[in-house]
Every structure is written in structure tokens, then in C-alpha cells.
Structure 1
Amino acid sequence: MAALARRDTAPELALRRELHRRGMRYRVQMKVPGNNRRTMDIAFTRARLAVYVDGCFWHGCSTHHQRPTANADWWDWKIARNQERDRSTDEQLASAGWSVLRFWEHEEPSAAADRVQQRYQERLSRG
């Protein structure tokens, strides 16, 4: 598991390319305020918008997640722990005034970019 990519995954890169193509500039792997052990996949600091691209297997997508048969109890615990950490991170960011968007790796990058762009503009227009 340590050899698996934690950043710059293909779905994340596809979304970043689409956002960049639209002229949106962002920071990559920025630390979550108040928790230096967690990072945001994509961060728009001016709008305080955090974007995550979650893997279907590791984060338990209801559509694509396939439960392993070997060592199933441990994998159930692992996926549940990942989901708990995601919720905790969302709460930490919200309490710091950030908005969070999460996308599954199977979502179309252009559709995800549409939602990011819309939320970004909403956040900036609020002032």
C-alpha cells in the first residue's frame, strides 16, 4: 500500500488539467488548516475551496467498491476508517471557513470542473 500514489493520480491530474485549461489557478497538496497531517488535493485559497478526488476502492464508492474476500474484516475496518477521516477533514475545513467538494475517481473531469467553477464563483461573489 505504501507504494500506491497518494497524489497525482490519473483522475486527479485529469481534473487539474481541466481546471487549468479554464484559467483556474490552485495549489496542490496544501495542508489542512490546523492539521498538518492532512492535505487537500486541490486548494483555491482565495475562495477557501478544497477539492478532493476520492478513489472508489479506498473510499468505499457505493457504485464501484468491491469488497475484498481475503481478510475482509480488516478491509471493512480500513475503508470505514478512511470514510471517518474524510468526514473529520470536511468538518475541520468547514470550521475554518472552507467549502469542500469531493468527487469520485469515475466522475467526468469536465462535469466535476463545472461544479468546482460554480462553487468557486459563488464563494468569491459572497466576499
Structure 2
Amino acid sequence: MKNIRSEGTRPELKIARELKRRHIYFSTHSKTVLGKPDILFRRKKIAVFIDSDFWHGNPDHFKMPKSNIRYWKAKISRNRSRDKEVTGTLRQSGWKVIRIWEHDIYKNFSKSVARIVKYLK
């Protein structure tokens, strides 16, 4: 699993390119902010996480692997729990947290970008 890309994924790059095209500037994967948000607007305290349908267990699009089911159930469950904990902690610290599913980026890209832009105004 060490070969699994956690930064610079296609959905992240797609969103990043569009934000740059609109001259909206941001940081990526800051290690100083809990959860290492995929996209970060530090001054506005906005953290954007782009969640993979598989690794974060999208309830509508996650497909359980056929082998080693016990392992995968536990793994995805831990990931979901961590996501909730990170989101809650950041919000308690005054951050706005936006979570976007990978599927939503591919199926409704403009709406995904609009969610981010709305928070920036």
C-alpha cells in the first residue's frame, strides 16, 4: 500500500487546475494543519479534503474487495472514523471544512468547484 498515491491524485489535480485558472491561490498538504488538507486556504481557515470513493468508503460508490474482507472493513471503518475526528477537531478550532467525494468531481465538476468558491466569498 506504500505505492498508493496520497497526494497529487487526479481529482486533486483537476480541482487545483481549475482554482489556478480562476486565479485562486492556495496551499496543498500542509503538515501544520491536522489531517493534511488536500487544499488549504490558511487566511480564511478553509480546509478542503478530496476523499477517494474507495479509501474513504463512499456509501454510494464503495465496492468491497472480494478477498480479505475483514481487513478491508476494518481499514475503511478506521479511515471514516479518522475523517470524522479530523473534521470535528478542525471545526472546533474555527476552520471551515469542505469534503468532496472523488465521484462528485467526475460527475459534477462545476458544482464541486462552486462549493469551494462559495466559501471563499
- State whether TM-score is above 0.5: yes
In structure 2, list runs of 5 or more residues that go unmatched: none
1:30 alignment partner, SS class: coil
Preserved contact between residue 32 and residue 40 of structure 1 (Cα < 8 Å): no
Preserved contact between residue 53 and residue 103 of structure 1 (Cα < 8 Å): yes
Q: What residue number does 1:27 align with?
A: 27
Q: What residue number does 2:44 align with?
A: 47
Map 1:32-111 onto structure 2 (within 5 A): 33=33, 35=34, 38-108=35-105, 109-111=109-111
In structure 1, list runs of 5 or more residues that go unmatched: 122-127
**After the TM superposition, which segments of 4 or more aligned residues of structure 1 sit over 3 Å from their partners?**
none
Q: What residue number does 1:4 align with?
A: 4
2:100 alignment partner, SS class: strand
Measure, in 1, the Cα distance between the counterparts of 2:19 and 2:73. Answer: 34
Measure, in 2, the Cα distance between the counterparts of 1:62 and 1:10. Answer: 21
Identity percentage over the alignment? Answer: 36
Could you say which structure has the higher strand fraction?
Answer: 1
What do the CA deviations read for 1:45-86 (whole angstroms, capped 9, x no partner)?
111000011000101112211011211011000000000000
How many residues matched? 118
Preserved contact between residue 7 and residue 41 of structure 1 (Cα < 8 Å): yes
1:32, CA displacement in angstroms?
5.0
1:110, CA displacement in angstroms?
2.3
1:50 alignment partner, SS class: strand
2:28 alignment partner, SS class: strand
What do the CA deviations read for 1:2-45 (whole angstroms, capped 9, x no partner)?
10101000000000111111111000001354x4xx31110001
Measure, in 2, the Cα distance between the counterparts of 1:69 and 1:49. Answer: 37
Let me know the Cα RMSD of the aligned residues.
1.2
Preserved contact between residue 32 and residue 93 of structure 1 (Cα < 8 Å): no
Measure, in 1, the Cα distance between the counterparts of 2:44 and 2:81. Answer: 25
Measure, in 2, the Cα distance between the counterparts of 1:79 and 1:26. Answer: 29
